[in-house]
């Protein structure tokens, strides 16, 4: 087992996010929305103040990633996307320790727009 040099933030949609996504729903989306959490790796932190700083640094990227899962047309996204709006739309949970239980080396991949489109089509 190895400990990663990262911490994590988990986000789950609150009711305002669920309401915003409704026009984009497919039949499959109607079941279980709100049960899904997304996990984002962030730089390490040592205390609650640093954890909040990490959230402040990354909430914009997380917000955009979550919105883009539902709608690629950024003109339909809420504006402005403040930290207050993010916290109203998502529950947030911090994970100060991330352990790797697999023996395979970790790899990162940059996903370009074409691959993202192909993945969206394949996943429905």
Give pLDDT tens digits for 89-122: 999 999 999 999 998 988 888 877 777 677 666 6
Cα-based distances in Å from 37 to 17, 34, 74, 76, 114: 13, 8, 22, 23, 25
pTM over 0.85: no
Encode pLDDT of 7-44 as tens digits: 999 999 999 998 999 888 876 666 655 567 899 999 99
> Quick one: which of 32, 21, 44, 38 has its CA closest to 97?
44
Q: Which helix (H) or strand (E) holds 96?
A: none
| CA–CA gap between residue 35 and residue 94 (Å, rounded) | 17
List the structure tokens of 11. Answer: 């986000």
* Mode of pairing for the β-strands spanning 7-13 and 38-42: antiparallel
Q: Which helix (H) or strand (E) holds 116?
A: helix 113-123
Phi and psi at residue 66, in whole multiples of 5°?
-70, -40
Report the pLDDT value the prediction gives residue 30, as an integer from 0 to 100: 61
What letter does residue 106 receive in the DSSP assignment? P
Report the pLDDT value the prediction gives residue 92, as an integer from 0 to 100: 97
List the structure tokens of 14. Answer: 């609150």
Report the pLDDT value the prediction gives residue 107, as an integer from 0 to 100: 85
pLDDT at residue 2 tops 70: yes
Report the pLDDT value the prediction gives residue 26, as an integer from 0 to 100: 75
The length of the chain, given as a count of residues: 124
List the structure tokens of 17. Answer: 């996010």
Report the pLDDT value the prediction gives residue 74, as an integer from 0 to 100: 94
Encode pLDDT of 45-96 as tens digits: 999 999 999 999 999 999 999 999 889 899 999 999 999 999 999 999 999 9
């Amino acid at each position: 087992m190895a400990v990663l040099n990262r911490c994590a933030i988990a986000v789950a949609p609150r009711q305002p996010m669920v309401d915003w996504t409704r026009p984009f729903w497919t039949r499959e989306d109607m079941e279980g929305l709100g049960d899904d959490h997304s996990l984002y790796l962030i730089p390490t932190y040592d205390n609650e103040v640093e954890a909040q700083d990490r959230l402040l640094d990354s909430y914009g990227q997380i917000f955009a990633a979550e919105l883009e899962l539902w709608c690629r047309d950024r003109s339909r996204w809420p504006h402005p996307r403040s930290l207050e709006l993010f916290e109203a739309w998502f529950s947030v949970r911090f994970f100060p320790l991330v352990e790797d239980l697999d023996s395979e080396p970790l790899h990162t991949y940059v996903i370009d727009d074409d691959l993202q489109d192909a993945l969206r089509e394949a996943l429905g």
